[in-house]
Amino acid sequence: MTSHGSNGTPAPTKGARTAARIRAVAFDALREDGWRATTMRGIAERAEVSPGTIYLSLPSKEHLLLELYGETVARIEQRAADDLAGVRIFAARLRIVMRVALDEIAPFHRVATEAIGQAIAPDSPVSPFGDETRAPRERMLRLFATVVEDSDLVADRRLREALPELLWGLLMAGMLAWTSDRSREQRRTRALVEQAVPMLDRAIRVTAVPLLRRQVRDLLALTAAAKELSHDDA
Amino acid sequence: MTSHGSNGTPAPTKGARTAARIRAVAFDALREDGWRATTMRGIAERAEVSPGTIYLSLPSKEHLLLELYGETVARIEQRAADDLAGVRIFAARLRIVMRVALDEIAPFHRVATEAIGQAIAPDSPVSPFGDETRAPRERMLRLFATVVEDSDLVADRRLREALPELLWGLLMAGMLAWTSDRSREQRRTRALVEQAVPMLDRAIRVTAVPLLRRQVRDLLALTAAAKELSHDDA
DNA sequence: GACTATAACTGAACGCGTTCAGTTATGCGA
DNA sequence: TCGCATAACTGAACGCGTTCAGTTATAGTC
């Protein structure tokens, strides 16, 4: 095994280096040219390999989106952890995560707009609810869990427990809306977030009113039922 | 111009007859084989034309979905008009429309599951919010308007005015959920509708409480802002 | 019935994502 | 240094949606 100087990590094999070069080229192309205009042949040419070589380390073009998604979630996680430190107010914590998420996905707005269709298909590898996206999804859920847990929020216990998943759902809905945002640098979506966070905060707090217990129960039951739609029949 | 017997409608031209045959074949194929397995070459073969002929009357494969959507909305409109006659209770009226819609789209569940990605892309011809789907969208909006108007529902004036559009949005969200429903004959989605309609009814009625005026205003402002996302910058 | 403008249609070709039988490069034991 | 197992890579080919220069059929006019 060859090694590079004295650093402890094993030297990457030739195949691994080729795979890394392909990804670097591909991510650049996606950022610059979008989803449609980025072709496998184009990636191959720019990475100086043949089209077939790409498929040694990448099952499909869609899997590029999967890797992009994973890397973006990792960056959101890191930046959010820094920005959340010391902040206790729920609305402030939620706004931080939403802002960080928007910042980190911004460079890929064009890709997302053109490729959102790939992601929404239930049996696609990049479906946000699918098996192959489990890891980044659970990392985002954990992030939303800390948003709730380390905050001053007081709310019905069961609502509080379901909140991370509900917030994640709102993020997904928001991203769907974001893909159709035609404003410069998606500032309309940013404005929407600034508007929606205090609204959501008020809405959660008002559920403490006994009159609304029924509505809270309804909402939780409905989302629970919706989650089961995609399960296989017994 | 040739004419068939004494009926008043002009005889279709040869091109129109070919176009109709292509559609009949294509819709059958979509119902039976789904979106992916239905190929333009296959349609051409079954309609006994060359692939190029299809493109004389159909701009793209996606436009098949557009026509399917339009025809389905027309059927929903007709059946709903019959079933709604004499019914005044809001929840009952809403449930009728939702049931009819589910019934009419049911034969195309497989197509919808495989092609939902085409429909969600913001610049796709079949985007539910796009220009090319304006006619069926407005027909559905009018249907929801009659659901509200001819009902016993009492609610805040502005909420009542926005309600048709909100209900249409819920239908779209429901259809998105429906595409990932794996249960036999999508009975889980049907159960979801039966559950959701009374919930929504209760939620709307509870907004009469003065305490919730702020939340109603918030909701309306948020949906108004969301609608503007896709507008071009000034 | 002959002529002709145009409606209708054809099918090879393009670029796409993807596959895989075949070829070349690499690194290790003898 | 040689031999060779296997890792790495190639590129022609497939089926797809779509295009368009070229061909054929139709219907109205004289």
Work out the percent of chain A whose per-residue pLDDT is above 90. 91
**On the CB side of B110, how many CA atoms lie within 13 Å of its CA?**
14
Average pLDDT over residues A130-156: 97
pLDDT of residue A8: 55
pLDDT of residue A57: 97
Q: Closest partner residue to A195 among B188, B215, B222, by Cβ?
A: B222
Find and list the nucleotides of strand C having atoms within 7 Å of a protein beta carbon. 7-13, 15-21, 26-28
Cβ–Cβ < 8 Å for A135, A141: no
Q: Confirm whether any atom of chain D, the nucleic acid strand, is less than 7 Å from CB of B107.
A: no
pLDDT of residue A38: 98
Q: Which residues of B touch A113 (CB under 8 A)?
A: 121-123
Is the pLDDT at B84 greater than 60? The verdict is yes
Q: Closest partner residue to B180 among A114, A122, A177, by Cβ?
A: A122
Q: Closest partner residue to B231 among A177, A182, A192, by Cβ?
A: A182
Reference B79, options B60, B106, B59, B55; nearest CA is B106
Q: How confident is the model at residue A2 (pLDDT cuts 50, 70, 90)?
A: very low
pLDDT of residue A14: 81
Average pLDDT over residues B98-125: 96
Q: For chain A, first and last CA: distance in Å? A: 51
> How far, in Å, CA of B75 to CA of B67, rounded?
13
Q: Which residues of A touch B218 (CB under 8 A)?
A: 199, 202-203
Q: How confident is the model at residue A233 (pLDDT cuts 50, 70, 90)?
A: confident
Q: Say which nucleotide is closest to residue B36, CA to C1' distance.
A: D16
Q: Which residues of A touch B62 (CB under 8 A)?
A: none
The answer to whether B188 contacts A221, with C-beta atoms less than 8 Å apart, is: no
Does residue A233 sit in helix, strand or coil?
A: coil
Kindly state the tokens that stand for A194: 């600034």
> How far, in Å, CA of A203 to CA of B130, rounded?
31
**What is the homologous superfamily of the domain A10-58 according to CATH?**
Homeodomain-like (1.10.10.60)
pLDDT of residue A142: 98
Is the pLDDT at B158 greater than 60? The verdict is yes
Q: How confident is the model at residue B233 (pLDDT cuts 50, 70, 90)?
A: confident
pLDDT of residue A9: 67
The fold for domain B61-227 equals: Tetracycline Repressor; domain 2 (1.10.357)
The fold for domain B14-58 equals: Arc Repressor Mutant, subunit A (1.10.10)
Q: Give pLDDT tens digits for A28-47.
A: 999 999 999 999 999 999 99
How many Å apart are A16 CA and D2 C1'?
A: 28
pLDDT of residue B6: 43
CA distances from B56 to B48, B60, B66 (A): 15, 10, 16
Does residue B100 sit in helix, strand or coil?
A: helix
The answer to whether B233 contacts A184, with C-beta atoms less than 8 Å apart, is: yes
How many Å apart are B134 CA and C7 C1'?
A: 31
pLDDT of residue B7: 55
> How far, in Å, CA of A47 to CA of B85, rounded?
65
CA distance B36 to chain A (A): 12
Reference B81, options B103, B105, B97; nearest CA is B97
Best A131, A228, A229 residue to mutate vs chain B (most B CBs within 10 Å): A229
Reference A163, options A111, A118, A223, A215; nearest CA is A223
Sign, CA torsion B217/A222/B110/B142: negative
Beta carbons within 10 angstroms of residue A103's beta carbon: 13
Type of residue numbered B159: L
The answer to whether A182 contacts B229, with C-beta atoms less than 8 Å apart, is: yes
User: Which residues does A72 contact at the CB level (< 8 Å), separation at least 6?
Assistant: A104, A105, A108
CA distance A180 to chain B (A): 5
How many Å apart are A9 CA and D3 C1'?
A: 32
Task: Look at chain B and count its residues.
Answer: 234
CA distance A12 to chain B (A): 38
Q: Closest partner residue to B230 among A180, A228, A233, by Cβ?
A: A180
The answer to whether B121 contacts A114, with C-beta atoms less than 8 Å apart, is: yes
Work out the percent of chain B whose per-residue pLDDT is above 70. 95
The answer to whether A177 contacts B118, with C-beta atoms less than 8 Å apart, is: no
Average pLDDT over residues A195-199: 98
Whole-number average pLDDT of chain A = 94
Q: Where in chain A are the domains?
A: 10-58, 80-227
pLDDT of residue B8: 56
> How far, in Å, CA of A157 to CA of B134, rounded?
44
Question: Which CATH number is A80-227's, of 1.20.1250.20, 3.10.310.30, 1.10.357.10, 1.10.10.10?
Answer: 1.10.357.10
